[in-house]
Chains A and B, each alone.
Chain A
Amino acid sequence: MFSLVTFLVVIAMAMTLIRAVRGPTPYDRILAVNVHGTMTVLLIALAGFLTDRPDFLDLSLAYALLNFVGTLAALKFFKHGHLGEEP
Chain B
Amino acid sequence: MSLALDILSGVCLITGAVMMIISALGMIRLPDLFTRLHGASIADTGGAFLLLFGMVLQADSFLVGIKLGLIGVVLFLTAPTASHAVAHAALIGGLSPDDPKVNQGKEEAEEDHT
The answer to whether B48 and A49 have CB atoms under 8 Å apart is no
Indicate with 1 or 0, residue by residue over B67-108, a CB within 8 angstroms of chain A CB atoms: 110110011001101110110011011010000000111100
The CA-CA distance from A30 to B36 in the complex, in Å, is: 12
Q: What residues of chain A have their CB less than 8 Å away from a CB belonging to chain B? A: 1-2, 4-5, 8-9, 11-13, 15-16, 18-19, 24-25, 27-28, 30-32, 34-35, 38-39, 41-42, 45-46, 49, 54, 57-58, 60-61, 64-65, 67-68, 71-72, 75, 78-79
- Chain A CB within 8 A of B5 CB: no
Chain B contact residues (Cβ within 8 angstroms of A): what range? 35 or more
- Known interface pairs A27-B95, A38-B48; 6 further A-B residue pairs with C-beta atoms within 8 A, sorted by A's residue number: A19-B28, A31-B86, A35-B44, A45-B52, A57-B71, A64-B78
Given the known interface contacts A5-B17, A35-B43, the answer about A15 and B28 at a Cβ–Cβ threshold of 8 Å is yes
The CA-CA distance from A21 to B5 in the complex, in Å, is: 40
The answer to whether A5 and B86 have CB atoms under 8 Å apart is no
The answer to whether A38 and B79 have CB atoms under 8 Å apart is yes
The CA-CA distance from A18 to B36 in the complex, in Å, is: 13
Q: What residues of chain B have their CB less than 8 Å away from a CB belonging to chain A? A: 10, 13-14, 16-18, 20-21, 23-25, 27-28, 33, 36-37, 40, 43-44, 47-48, 51-52, 54-55, 58-59, 61, 63-64, 67-68, 70-71, 74-75, 78-79, 81-83, 85-86, 89-90, 92-93, 95, 103-106
Name the A residues within 8 Å of B44 (CB-CB): 35, 38
Name the A residues within 8 Å of B52 (CB-CB): 42, 45
